[in-house]
Amino acid sequence: MSGDLGLYWTAWPGGDRAVMSRHPPSDLEAAAEAAAASGYPALQLEGVGRTYGSGPAAVQALKDVDLVIRPGEFVVLLGPSGSGKTTLLNLVGGIEEPSEGRVVVAGNDIETLSAKERTAYRRDSVGFVFQFFNLVPTLTALENVEIIAELAGEDPGQRSREALDKVGLSDVANRFPGQLSGGQQQRVAIARAIVKEPPLLLCDEPTGSLDLATGRQVLAVLRALAREGHHTVLLVTHNSTIASMADRVVWLHSGAVTRQEQVKAPVEARDLEW
């Protein structure tokens, strides 16, 4: 792991709170279990607002958003273009700060983190997957994952091979992005996002540039990662079909949460149609 700068999800020393701390857990699975057992939500937004600009030009991208997400949940955030989805992910990912309210991750308000801790949070606790895969074209699939694994410390080669294996790409590890299909490239991007074993996986329109069949494959990989219990997935999309595979769906409109629904029997990704 990443040594003294890293933040880890672990049991609070001398207590039962699972929090991010600077003490490396003996193993990451134990830390994830401790976080899950703590009763703390993986993620909580309380009265979160975000305004860009000021005066008459001000844009209120998010308004008074309340949200509670449990560890291991697969949540789909659904909303039309401009409804504030990317803004919400950026707030959760520590890339932006809320204008109002609190973003609390595993019991910790991320606004209270020092600059160093915030950097460590973004680096170690959050994995991002975007619509466009952003792979380095001159590096192989394995090398694209390794450049991130190296930030996380020990054994980047082994960790990267394991991450590629989890997304079903062991056999194409030595290909360059240009030699991979769109779906395969997105799975490399997912491997890169999970190689540090971040508790939170934030996906911004991850199937937005994929056809139906490859989109389903990518979603099935994300679903499996959430089910294994080590990743809480927050996926934003404007595609309402994807909602039926979620544990919970949150509707966002003009920056406000307008509705939330628990899905009793989520469908498998392979059965989605759009």
Contacts with Mg ion, residue ranges (CB under 5 A): 85-86
**Residue closest to Mg ion when measured from CB atoms:** 86
CB of 90 vs ligand ADP, minimal distance in Å: 8
Cα(56)–Cα(122) distance, rounded to whole angstroms?
33
Count of residues that interact with ligand ADP, criterion CB under 6 A: 12
Q: Could you give the 3-state DSSP secondary structure of residue 18?
A: strand
Is the Cβ of residue 181 or residue 240 nearer to Mg ion in the bound state?
Answer: 240
| List of residues 6+ apart from 95 with CB closer than 8 A | 122
CA 215 to the chain's CA centroid = 17
Q: Which stretch binds ligand ADP (CB under 6 A): 82-90, 156-164, 171-179, 185-193?
A: 82-90
Residues in 8-67 that interact with ligand ADP by CB under 6 A: 52-53, 59, 61
79 interface partner picked from Mg ion, ligand ADP, none, CB below 5 to 8 A per type:
ligand ADP
132 binds, among Mg ion, ligand ADP, none (CB under 5 to 8 A by kind): none
State how far the Cα of 114 lies from the Cα of 108, in Å rounded to an integer. 12
The entry of Mg ion, ligand ADP, none near residue 87 (CB within 5 to 8 angstroms by kind) is ligand ADP
10 binds, among ligand ADP, Mg ion, none (CB under 5 to 8 A by kind): none
The answer to whether residues 64 and 253 touch, using CB atoms and an 8 Å cutoff, is no
Whether the Cβ atoms of residue 128 and residue 91 lie closer than 8 Å to each other: no
- Non-local (6+) Cβ contacts of 60 within 8 A are 49, 50, 51, 255
Nearest to 230 by CA among 158, 274, 166, 183: 166
**In the bound complex, what is the minimum distance in angstroms from residue 88's beta carbon to ligand ADP?**
7
Q: Give the nearest distance from C-beta 110 to ligand ADP in angstroms.
A: 18
Q: What does DSSP say about strands 100-105 and 108-109: parallel, antiparallel, or unpaired? A: antiparallel
Mask for 108-137, x = binds ligand ADP (CB under 6 A): ------------------------------
- Separation of first and last alpha carbons in the chain: 41
- Residue 87 makes contact with ligand ADP by CB under 6 A: yes
Residue numbers of the site for ligand ADP (CB under 6 A)? 52-53, 59, 61, 79, 81-87
